Amino acid sequence: MNQKEWLVLEKRVTGWIKEAGERLKQSLSAPLEVSCKSAHNDLVTNMDKEIEKFLVGKIKEYYPGHKIVSEEGFGDAPDSTDGILWYLDPIDGTINFVMQQRFFAISIGVYENGSGRAAFIYDVMVDELFHCLAGNGAYRNDVRLAPLKKVEVEDALIDLSATWIKPNRRIDQDVLTEIVRRCSGTRAYGSASIELAYVAAGLIDAYFTMRLSPWDFGAGLILIHEVGGVATRADGTAIDTLSRTSILAAGPALHEEIAQHIGRQVAAGKYLNEPD
Ligand code: 2AM
Ligand code: CA
Ligand code: CA
Ligand code: CA
């Protein structure tokens, strides 16, 4: 697509996302239908499905040749990144949506032949849209985000869930304890797309997780790159945007320091298992 078509896409998607956000807000005044998927903490609601159907319908109507990678099954499950691919999570942070009625987002990332081109992460309850067209700057609503500044571990606010520093099957619980001890503080917001947007906005300095799916990180990676940040798997290797993966995202220097720390720990015998 040419630049003009990307600008049109940006305008359209912004409209769809705001409409979807309004539906989500209104849905909170009536009881939700909540059910479990793979586990007791893996929830889905009627609204996850309704919003995905709504957005997939819009994408298919305006862009019938494009493919969609989405969480709730209304997309296409493509096996190649050729052409234009949409990464769509209708509610990122479903547990927050159900339990807190805040801190959840609609996340949409659009890639062309594997390159991130457009990103939209809409934090519904605070009406905050993190967005960018690659090369045109990243924005938090209409405020342009600054390039990421260099931050030392000692001054860094690092976002990671306690899941990864207690016994689990993906990362030895001790791998990150030194970083957690040294850093300025930790946070865990429970919505990966918002957490990636917060790194891009400089509100937190790094985000780490061992378990994300393409629809969780598709948009966030584009924002991170747009502000000069780096996102890789936990061991510093490249992310495959069609697979479940670990993610470490930060400014370049902090990213390198944490990735090297993880590398040394793994070389010393601590385990790191990519999601299966
Ligand atoms: P979701 O709400 O769309 O499922 C919560 O820690 C964050 O990780 C959310 O962004 C959540 O997305 C995502 N996540 C990815 N895989 C998950 C899983 N298996 N269980 C819980 N959260 C998961
Ligand atoms: Ca989910
Ligand atoms: Ca998600
Ligand atoms: Ca979701």
Q: How confident is the model at residue 276, as a pLDDT?
A: 83
The alpha carbon of 217 and the centre of ligand 2 are apart by a number of angstroms equal to: 13
- For position 152, what pLDDT does the model report? 98
**Residue 13 has which token pair?**
């998607």
CATH number at residue 90: 3.30.540.10
Question: What does 232-269 look like in DSSP terms, one character per residue?
Answer: E-TTSPPP-TTS-EEEEEE-HHHHHHHHHHHHHHHHTT
Residues 194 and 219 reside in one and the same domain = yes
Alpha helices in the chain (DSSP H): 3-27, 46-62, 94-99, 177-182, 192-200, 214-226, 252-267
Closest residue CA from atom 18 of ligand 1: 42
Q: Which ligand lies nearest to the CA atom of residue 212 in the structure?
A: 1
Pairing relation of β-strands 84-92 and 67-70? Answer: parallel
44 alpha carbon to ligand 2 midpoint, in Å?
6
Residues 194 and 119 in one domain: no
What atom of ligand 1 comes closest to residue 71's alpha carbon?
3
Q: List the domain range (segments joined by +) for residue 108.
A: 3-144
User: Which ligand has the shortest distance to the CA of 37?
Assistant: 2
Q: What confidence tens digit (pLDDT) does each residue in 208-253 have?
A: 999 999 999 999 999 999 999 999 999 999 999 999 999 999 999 9
State percent of the chain over pLDDT 70: 100
Assess whether 136 and 166 both reside in one domain: no
CA dihedral (195, 200, 204, 208) positive or negative? positive
In terms of pTM, does the model score above 0.95?
Answer: yes
Check: complex ipTM more than 0.85: yes
What is residue 36's three-state secondary structure?
A: strand
Structural domain includes residue 158: yes
Number of folded domains that form the chain: 2
CB-based burial, 123-157: b 16+ in 10 Å, e otherwise = bbbeeebbbbbbeeebbbeeeebeebeebebeebb
Position 100 scores a pLDDT of 97
Give the domain-ending residue among 93, 121, 144: 144
- For ligand 1, atom 16, name the residue with the nearest CA: 212
* Cα 93 to ligand 4 centroid, rounded to whole Å: 6
Q: Is 216 annotated as a binding residue?
A: yes
Nearest CA to ligand 1 atom 11: 93
Tokens of 36: 């479990």
* Residues in the chain with pLDDT values less than 50: none
Ligand 1 binding residues, C-beta < 6 A = 42, 71, 89, 92-94, 161, 190-192, 211-213, 216
Contact between residue 75 and residue 69 where contact means Cβ atoms under 8 Å apart: yes
Predicted local confidence at residue 12, as pLDDT: 98
Asked whether the beta carbons of 95 and 77 are under 8 A apart, the reply is no
**Rounded Cα distance, 227 and 221, in Å:** 10
Please report whether residue 274 resides in a domain.
no
